[in-house]
């Protein structure tokens, strides 16, 4: 069992204060796609009708207005990373991305060598366009491959085929030296052999980072309403084991539940999320977590693109909701993120990021260790192999108790 932590400084647990603010990232949401995938529950919207286009210029202006509105909350802070997510951000022109990044650099300076990632889907790849993305300041690309198998791509409703997937990686490798491939496993009708072919192909391409996600049936998706025939839990677990072994053999380090990286190529933007850093989210439906000395707040932007644009054009606030995290929320949310990291986290980081002593979760730490789900001492807390395999069970231990009175 881990030992109780030595006596800690007396803190006001009802209104804990932060001695310093964590790193700050910027997330930029571009909500349009060529086609809505049947498994996707993200805030993404299909561009409907032949010849239809997203309102690029209007949306870029709204994003810049959004950032200007948000400056008061993050004034004077530097950005450690920027991430364009979606939707399919690569649908936008390089000129639009350049305009956004120019405004970002003007309003919130980036740290030297800041990581600037863009999500892209193979159906949107053109060689010159991606060279222009690089020139605009994108230095990391995340490509939504999902599978290299044409049968599984069709089952997932993807707009690209296997040849376009390979072509996309080929174009990316000519323009970027930091590339992530998103893959999914436990797909409709997928065998262990087929899953292995996907991960072996990804590893052989020499990209710096691979994300491998278990397909789950999320509410409000087509797959949830009409469930396909998926591999059972035992088959999915075998696929997960195989992915971990294959990536390790190709010198990728398994550093987070679904993430595998070459040495030094971990996603800095995602690490900031997992270590309970701050992030400002702009764009339709984007979420933010912003720390102040005496509070931590979460915000969400208006979700529907039309409403978001209307608010921006009317020069109104684009934050639809805002709430302050309670002390128990802070503890749970920190653990919910940090325990996704296979190497865990330094014990001192808990107090740095939450304002709370680690002793507030001592009982839960002891229970989790007793059940073999994590190990902890004065210096470090990390999940065991069992804890990583049953992550939801581990996180549930830290859920705040609900007062039913």
Task: Read off the tokens for 274.
Answer: 């997992």
What confidence score (pLDDT) does residue 180 get? 98
Question: Which of 301, 273, 312 shows the shortest CA–CA distance to 29?
Answer: 301
Q: What are the start and end residues of each CATH 1.10.10.920 domain in the chain?
A: 1-16+328-400
For 377, phi then psi, to 5°, come to -145, -165
Q: What are the start and end residues of each CATH 3.20.20.70 domain in the chain?
A: 24-273
Q: Which residues of the chain have pLDDT under 50?
A: 1, 3-11, 403-405
Question: Which of 227, 202, 221, 222 shows the shortest CA–CA distance to 213?
Answer: 202
pLDDT digit string, tens, across residues 152-211: 999 988 888 899 999 999 999 999 999 999 999 999 999 999 999 999 999 999 999 999
What confidence score (pLDDT) does residue 191 get? 97
Query: Domain 24-273 has what CATH class?
Result: alpha beta
What confidence score (pLDDT) does residue 219 get? 87
Q: Quickly name the fold that domain 1-16+328-400 has.
A: Arc Repressor Mutant, subunit A (1.10.10)
Contacts for 163-171: CB closer than 8 Å, 24+ residues apart? 164/122, 164/123, 164/125, 165/122, 167/122, 167/125, 168/120, 168/121, 168/122, 168/125, 168/143, 169/143, 169/145, 169/205, 169/207, 171/125, 171/126, 171/127, 171/130
Q: What angle do helix axes 347-354 and 327-338 make, rounded to 10 degrees?
A: 140
What confidence score (pLDDT) does residue 405 get? 35
**Can you say how many angstroms the Cα of residue 181 is from the centroid of all Cα atoms in its chain?**
13
What confidence score (pLDDT) does residue 282 get? 98
Contact 39, 215 (CB under 8 A): yes
Question: What CA–CA distance (Å, rounded) separates 86 from 258?
Answer: 19
CB atoms within 10 A of CB 109: 13
Question: Which of 373, 372, 376, 352 shows the shortest CA–CA distance to 362?
Answer: 376
What confidence score (pLDDT) does residue 38 get? 83
Contact 67, 108 (CB under 8 A): yes
């Amino acid at each position: 069992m881990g030992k109780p932590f030595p006596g800690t400084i007396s803190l006001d647990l009802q209104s804990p204060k932060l001695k310093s603010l964590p790193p700050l990232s910027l997330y930029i949401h571009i909500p349009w796609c060529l086609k809505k995938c049947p498994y996707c529950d993200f805030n993404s919207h299909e561009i409907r009708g032949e010849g239809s286009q997203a309102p690029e210029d209007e949306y870029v202006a709204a994003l810049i207005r959004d950032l200007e509105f948000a400056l008061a909350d993050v004034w004077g802070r530097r950005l450690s990373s920027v991430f364009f997510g979606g939707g399919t951000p690569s649908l936008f022109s390089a000129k639009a991305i350049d305009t956004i990044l120019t405004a970002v650099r003007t309003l919130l300076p980036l740290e030297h060598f800041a990581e600037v990632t863009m999500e892209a889907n193979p159906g949107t790849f053109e060689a010159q366009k991606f060279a222009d993305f690089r020139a605009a300041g994108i230095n990391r690309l995340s490509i939504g491959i999902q599978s290299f198998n044409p049968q599984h791509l069709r089952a997932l409703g993807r707009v690209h085929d296997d040849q376009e997937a390979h072509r996309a990686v080929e174009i990316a490798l000519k323009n970027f030296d930091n590339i992530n491939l998103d893959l999914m496993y436990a797909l409709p009708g997928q065998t262990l052999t087929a899953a292995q072919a996907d991960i072996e192909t990804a590893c052989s391409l020499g990209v710096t980072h691979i994300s491998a996600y278990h397909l789950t049936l999320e509410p409000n998706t087509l797959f949830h309403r009409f469930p396909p025939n998926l591999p059972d839990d035992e088959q999915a677990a075998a696929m997960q084991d195989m992915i971990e072994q294959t990536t390790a053999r190709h010198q990728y380090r398994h550093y987070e539940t679904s993430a595998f990286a070459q040495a030094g190529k971990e996603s800095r933007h995602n690490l900031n999320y997992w270590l309970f850093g701050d992030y400002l989210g702009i764009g339709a439906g984007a979420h933010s977590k912003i720390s102040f000395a005496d509070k931590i707040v979460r915000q969400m932007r208006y979700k529907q693109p039309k409403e978001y644009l209307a608010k921006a054009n009317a020069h109104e606030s684009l934050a639809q909701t805002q709430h302050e995290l309670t002390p128990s929320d802070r503890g749970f949310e920190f653990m919910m993120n940090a325990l996704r990291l296979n190497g865990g986290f330094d014990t001192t980081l808990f107090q740095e990021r939450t304002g709370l002593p680690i002793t507030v979760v001592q009982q839960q730490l002891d229970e989790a260790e007793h059940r073999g789900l994590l190990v902890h001492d004065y210096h470090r807390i990390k999940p065991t192999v069992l804890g990583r395999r049953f992550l939801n069970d581990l996180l549930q231990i830290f859920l705040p108790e609900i007062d039913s009175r």
